[in-house]
Amino acid sequence: MERVVALGKLLGWTGQIVEVDSGFLPENMLRDFRMEQHWVVSSDRIRTELDFKETVSFFEGLQRTIDWELENQINNTDQLLADYRVEDEVYAKIS
């Protein structure tokens, strides 16, 4: 969630992030895969053995990604997955 918040801040978004139980979502908003992640990773080895250091901070890298995405947006809105009208209806149900 912290990365979503960071992304919103860099984009100047002032909205609210709301987690919704899947029981409130219409069928077309449900995804057929599990989102849980159980990864434990460490960069100690590459740092120790190869003296690796990031050349940009996380936030600078995120900002570069945002800039690229904004410059290379999808032109066909039919390809977008977001349906804001439906999202508003779901939010109204849980509010």
The amino acid occupying position 9 is K
Least confident of 17-26, 38-47, 63-72, 73-82: 73-82
Could you tell me how far CA 33 lies from the centroid of its own chain? 16
Q: What range defines the domain where residue 81 resides?
A: 2-28+35-94
Listed in sequence order, the residues at least 6 apart from 30 whose beta carbon sits closer than 8 Å to its beta carbon are 22
Is the per-residue pLDDT at 81 higher than 80? no
Per the structure, the count of domains in the chain is: 1
The pLDDT mean for the chain works out to 85
